[in-house]
């Protein structure tokens, strides 16, 4: 029995995620071409993302029947065991025999035939206990963070941080949200043609629903958005709703000079371009040439030839003589607000890296402030929940930034209100401290933070 195409794709993507540090969503986009059937693409995606999300729980279950940690096995064996255990534990429509057999075939295809008997034996034991609640298999005496970390498949250090700051109920809600498959959100690039675009997507076999936050957002399911003519023609883009909302906070006006300082992959730039109009100037910058080239292709698809693309290191003084009316600093960050969409982050990130991100982000914001015109506005944003990357960065920078203040939440809410879906209370997007925040358990989006700074 040959290994199915869906399992072959999932195995190869998981291998590259581990061996190359790649992102699963990017790899799947490349692997799931038009020649892959919809059902095969769906299973490949489910297996890949499911194994990444539930890796810690899967390893705990597997190591009950192994003599050494899963990660100390050869990588193909590790991946075959995780894929088999995920199917046995979570995918009840797949016959256990098929899950076990194809996992054995995977290690054989990977030239690890000597491990075939091990994979077969361990997965048969996993199948026998698949109906037992995982909590019953935990040791009686276990640290609360370890317990939640295993049951909800997150690193213990991350759970400890969230328990200390959010409490148990909010932490569990966040952990559960991170293990849900996020809905595919699309941005309408021409709101006036909404009905036409929806009809076009439905004709392509997709189910389309309105977004929960923004008028110009849609949810699409039941097929590949990237294969549709609406996507190829630039009428829609794939983008989380919280990410769509962030550039709206800048309040760009016709004729503004706008700098998107850390622009790649370019999802927020089009909103700035449309708001600045034909008389405005928008510069999109990134430090990596290949990412700038990717943005160039993206903007061509969207019909935005007027964007000025620049390769630069934003941690250094900027090479512009003129100042900018609006600056977006969508800073590189830990990404802890995107763990549902990018589950591999939870296994790569280390607690000590937060200090490094903090230093980088502080430098980027200081650089941006130096380039801001009098009376201008900066939006500093991250897709992180961590204070070191968010309010602590803003507070430190403002201590030494003359002529800059935080814009009041009421002013920002007023700017955002016209773009929101009718049922959304704009105040729910601003915390008591006045910062813009979205939450996976509450808004069902990625977790974004944004601060808005105003030149005096």
What is the spatial distance between Cα 211 and Cα 422, in angstroms, rounded to a whole number?
11
Helix (H, G, I), strand (E, B) or coil at 382: strand
What is the spatial distance between Cα 308 and Cα 315, in angstroms, rounded to a whole number?
19
Chain centroid, CA 112 distance in Å: 34
Q: Which DSSP symbol is given to 321?
A: S
Which among 245, 185, 248, 174 is positioned nearest to 211, based on CA atoms?
A: 185
CB 188 within 8 A of CB 218: yes
**β-sheet bridge partners, residue 406:** 453
Q: Which DSSP symbol is given to 214?
A: B
CB 282 within 8 A of CB 276: yes
What is the spatial distance between Cα 238 and Cα 217, in angstroms, rounded to a whole number?
10
Which among 434, 380, 436, 369 is positioned nearest to 404, based on CA atoms?
A: 369
- Active site amino acids: 383
Which tokens in the block code for residue 268?
């927020």
Torsion region of 403: left, alpha or beta (phi above 0 gives left; psi -120 to 50 gives alpha): left
CB 403 within 8 A of CB 375: no
Torsion region of 277: left, alpha or beta (phi above 0 gives left; psi -120 to 50 gives alpha): left
What is the spatial distance between Cα 227 and Cα 233, in angstroms, rounded to a whole number?
10
Chain centroid, CA 97 distance in Å: 34
CB 420 within 8 A of CB 217: no
Helix (H, G, I), strand (E, B) or coil at 381: strand
What is the spatial distance between Cα 44 and Cα 51, in angstroms, rounded to a whole number?
11
What is the spatial distance between Cα 218 and Cα 249, in angstroms, rounded to a whole number?
20
Q: Which DSSP symbol is given to 420?
A: B
What is the spatial distance between Cα 132 and Cα 9, in angstroms, rounded to a whole number?
30
């Amino acid at each position: 029995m040959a290994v199915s195409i869906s399992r072959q794709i999932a195995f190869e993507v998981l291998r590259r995620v581990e061996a190359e540090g790649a992102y699963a969503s990017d790899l799947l986009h490349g692997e799931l071409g038009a020649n892959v059937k919809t059902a095969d693409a769906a299973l490949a995606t489910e297996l890949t993302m499911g194994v990444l999300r539930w890796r810690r729980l899967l390893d705990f279950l597997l190591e009950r029947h192994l003599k050494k940690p899963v990660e100390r096995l050869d990588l193909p064996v590790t991946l075959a065991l995780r894929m088999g255990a995920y199917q046995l534990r979570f995918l009840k429509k797949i016959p256990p025999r098929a899950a076990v057999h194809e996992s054995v075939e995977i290690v054989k295809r990977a030239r690890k035939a000597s491990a075939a008997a091990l994979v077969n034996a361990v997965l048969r034991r996993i199948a026998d206990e698949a109906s037992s609640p995982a909590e019953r298999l935990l040791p009686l005496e276990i640290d609360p963070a370890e317990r939640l970390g295993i049951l909800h498949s997150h690193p213990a250090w991350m759970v400890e941080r969230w328990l200390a700051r959010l409490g148990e109920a909010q932490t569990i809600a966040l952990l559960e949200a991170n293990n849900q498959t996020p809905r595919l959100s699309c941005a309408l690039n021409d709101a006036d043609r909404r009905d036409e675009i929806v009809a076009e997507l439905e004709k392509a076999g997709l189910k389309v629903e309105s977004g929960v936050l923004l008028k110009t957002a849609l949810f699409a399911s039941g097929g590949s958005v990237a294969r549709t003519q609406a996507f190829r023609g630039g009428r829609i883009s794939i983008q989380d709703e919280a990410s769509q909302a962030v550039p709206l906070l800048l309040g760009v006006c016709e004729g503004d000079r706008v700098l998107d300082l850390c622009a790649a992959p370019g999802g927020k730039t089009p909103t700035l371009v449309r708001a600045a109009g034909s008389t405005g100037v928008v510069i999109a910058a990134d430090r990596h040439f290949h990412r700038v080239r990717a943005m160039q292709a993206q903007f061509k698809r969207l019909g935005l030839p007027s964007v000025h693309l620049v390769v630069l290191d934003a941690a250094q003084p900027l090479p512009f003589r003129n100042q900018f009316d609006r600056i977006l600093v969508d800073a590189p960050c830990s990404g802890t607000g995107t763990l549902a969409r990018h589950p591999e982050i939870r296994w790569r990130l280390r607690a000590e890296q937060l200090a490094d991100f903090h230093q980088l982000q502080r430098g980027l914001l200081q650089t941006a402030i130096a380039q801001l015109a009098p009376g201008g506005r900066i939006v500093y944003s991250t897709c992180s929940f961590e204070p070191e990357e968010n309010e602590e960065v803003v507070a430190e920078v403002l201590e030494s930034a003359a002529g800059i203040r935080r814009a009041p939440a009421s002013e920002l809410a007023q700017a955002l209100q016209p773009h929101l879906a009718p049922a959304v209370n704009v105040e729910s997007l601003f915390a008591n401290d006045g910062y813009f925040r979205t939450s996976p358990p509450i808004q069902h989006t990625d977790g974004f933070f944004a601060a808005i700074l105003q030149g005096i």
